[in-house]
Amino acid sequence: MEHYWIAIILGIVEGLTEFLPVSSTGHMILMADLLNFDGDKAKTFEVVIQLGSITAVVFVFWRRLLSLIGIGRTRTYGPQLNLLHVIIAVLPAGLAGVLLHDFIKKYLFSPYTVLMALVAGAILMIVAERFQPRITAPTIDDITYRQAFGIGLFQCLALWSGFSRSGATIAGGLLLGTSHKAAAEFTFIVAIPVMLGATGLDLIKSMHFLSASDFGFFATGFVTAFVVAMLAIVSFLKLLQRISLTPFAIYRLLLAAVFYLFVLR
């Protein structure tokens, strides 16, 4: 039962932080360190339960996802976000993830590397808010193919655990001329194929040390992350309309400092 409580705790952490620019993976690694939950199985669990949060995105954005393939389109003029935008944005991180998978799992999943990524990501977010150019894509449907590819390049930074996929892509979107809301919505949609691919690849490479007895533990984390993420997505989108990325950047810096001073030292 102790392990199931760990699954629930990490599921809550994942669901709350997956769509905030604070790094869900980074928070799970730090929390797992506090719970003494480590090893190959722990690393795989931290990747797999993110699928629960991504499933929540499918539920929230199902109409938008259908519109990517032409079903239920509502815009009668000008361009509209389509599947090609998503493919262009996914390719850079997808390719880098496949090529660097073993390196990432071996060297970028420790509390120390997470703290460095928290700081680096915070700096990027502050820079994005400070130097954001004129907004050329106020809505998600105004995002160009060039902006989609640029956001995809920024997403590669999220392969460094602790950097934050949403933080990297939203900050990248701001620097490329999108609004906060457009960047966030695009980030959520692009996360679906990226996380599906990452989860599938991790499960395939982890089959040799997983067993049927792990199913209940993984399922508990998955369901917890799904339920919490459903509530977090809508709340975050509303929050972004009122505040900038800067408070999240400050939180990241404070978290890194506190964890370093009181836990790792």
pLDDT of 110 reads: 84
Residue whose C-alpha is closest to residue 164's, from 115, 118, 110? 118
Residue whose C-alpha is closest to residue 166's, from 194, 138, 147, 134? 194
Contacts with 11 (C-beta within 8 Å, 6 or more apart), sequence order: 49, 52, 220, 221, 222, 223, 224, 225, 228
Residue 253 is which amino acid?
A: L
* 75 backbone dihedrals φ, ψ, rounded to 5°: -85, 125
Counts of helices then strands in the chain (DSSP H, E): 12, 0
Residue 264 is which amino acid?
A: L
Residue whose C-alpha is closest to residue 20's, from 139, 122, 94? 122
Dist. CA 93–CA 166, nearest whole Å: 13
Per-residue pLDDT 10s for the chain (265 aa) are: 558 899 999 999 999 998 889 988 888 888 888 888 888 788 888 888 888 998 998 998 888 888 887 776 665 555 789 999 999 999 998 899 888 878 887 888 788 899 999 999 999 999 999 999 999 999 999 999 999 999 999 999 988 988 999 999 999 999 999 999 999 999 989 988 888 887 888 878 888 887 888 888 889 999 999 999 998 888 888 887 788 999 999 999 999 999 889 877 6
Residue 95 is which amino acid?
A: L
What's the token pair of residue 15? 């669901």
pTM comes to: 0.85
